[in-house]
Amino acid sequence: MKPLHSHLVGRLLTSDLLSGGLSAAVLAWRGRTDAHSAAAPINAVSHWLWPREALRQDGVSARFTATGLAVHFAAALLWCGLYERLRARQSAATPARAVTDAAVVSAVAAVVDLACVPHRLTPGFQERISPRSLLMVYGAFAAGLALAGLSALRR
């Protein structure tokens, strides 16, 4: 039997890979549509480190794109931790609860990311994609969380 902390780490990594991966894929897709560059919204995430340059970068680069992806997955891990904590506190885990919790955590993430934190700590991608695309990104994030939660129920 695996120790509890190793089980939690596995769930966190699964949640992060699914939610961060799906939302990054939608960012690239919507960036291509809205900013004519799949890398633009991902590069914008690196504005935490390069506030002026990152929001204007369209091309793929190690400096902006790789950093943007790293920051995106690190931020996603924070929200995944909240999701997993919420899931662990429930007495009866059900598929409907996994999906509902994913939607709630994603909605809270959107509000905090876009309305509560100082501009320097926002995701940055909201500067490069449309409001409709933002809904799709946070929807993809919720879908990734839900998939991770459903997967955990099967185990």
Name the residue among 153, 114, 154, 108 with its Cα closest to residue 133: 114
pLDDT above 60 for 148:
yes
Helix (H, G, I), strand (E, B) or coil at 86: helix
- Total domain count, the chain: 1
For residue 152 the two structure tokens come to 């955990």
Looking at the domain assignment, is residue 49 inside a domain? no
Looking at the domain assignment, is residue 9 inside a domain? yes
Helix (H, G, I), strand (E, B) or coil at 89: coil
Sign of CA dihedral 72, 73, 74, 76: positive
What is the average pLDDT score of the chain?
Answer: 94
Looking at the domain assignment, is residue 64 inside a domain? no
Looking at the domain assignment, is residue 58 inside a domain? no
pLDDT above 60 for 14:
yes
pLDDT above 80 for 134:
yes
Sign of CA dihedral 46, 11, 108, 144: positive
Looking at the domain assignment, is residue 47 inside a domain? no
Looking at the domain assignment, is residue 56 inside a domain? no
pLDDT above 80 for 3:
no
Q: Which domain holds residue 24?
A: 4-35+76-154
Q: What are phi and psi of 49, to 5 degrees?
A: -100, -35
Looking at the domain assignment, is residue 21 inside a domain? yes
Whether the model clears a pTM of 0.85, i.e. scores above it, the answer is: yes
Distance CA 21, CA 27 (A): 10
Question: What is the 8-class DSSP label of residue 95?
Answer: H
Average pLDDT over residues 118-127: 96
Helix (H, G, I), strand (E, B) or coil at 145: helix
pLDDT single digits (tens) 60-105: 999 999 999 999 999 999 999 999 999 988 778 899 999 999 999 9
Distance CA 30, CA 90 (A): 35
pLDDT value of position 93 = 84
For residue 118 the two structure tokens come to 């100082």
Looking at the domain assignment, is residue 62 inside a domain? no
pLDDT value of position 68 = 98
